[in-house]
Amino acid sequence: MVLGRQHDGPGGHLRMNQVADAVVLSQSATTRLVTRLEDRGLLERYLCPDDRRGIYTDVTPAGMDLLSKARPTHDAALSGALGPAAADPELAPLVAAVEALNTSFARGAGSRAYRLV
């Protein structure tokens, strides 16, 4: 999730607070998560050139490689989980909204969209 959100962010990088918002974690939990990803060579941190108080994170080439390998499995699992939900009249509008958000986000981030159901 973090690598995918990172890659799809504007310019391919996000501020630490944007990462925290994307994964719904506290700042301290996000810092620990990013540290683990950085230790694995999947992300790197650097100071924001415009605001030296801010810290950006970027996906490394190794992170991009892992992301490209993981996306098909992630997409298939998501599609498999949402497929049955789309058949439920009470959940179908939610599934349609998730699919619309995915398509909209993919267009805005310049990445590819995938069908959820």
* 102: CB partners within 8 A, 6+ apart: 113, 114, 116
Q: Is the pLDDT of residue 78 over 90?
A: no
Measured distance CA(1)–CA(74) in Å, rounded? 9
Condensed to tens digits (0 to 9), the pLDDT of residues 3-59 reads 665 555 555 677 888 888 877 888 899 899 999 999 999 989 888 877 777 888 888
What count of residues does the chain have? 117
Quickly count: other Cβ atoms within 10 Å of residue 42's Cβ. Answer: 21
pLDDT of residue 8: 56
Rounded alpha-carbon distances, angstroms, from residue 37 to 2, 23, 32, 51? 9, 14, 9, 24
Q: State the fold for domain 2-109.
A: Arc Repressor Mutant, subunit A (1.10.10)
Residue spans per domain, the chain:
2-109
The predicted model scores a pTM of 0.65
pLDDT of residue 53: 79
pLDDT of residue 22: 77
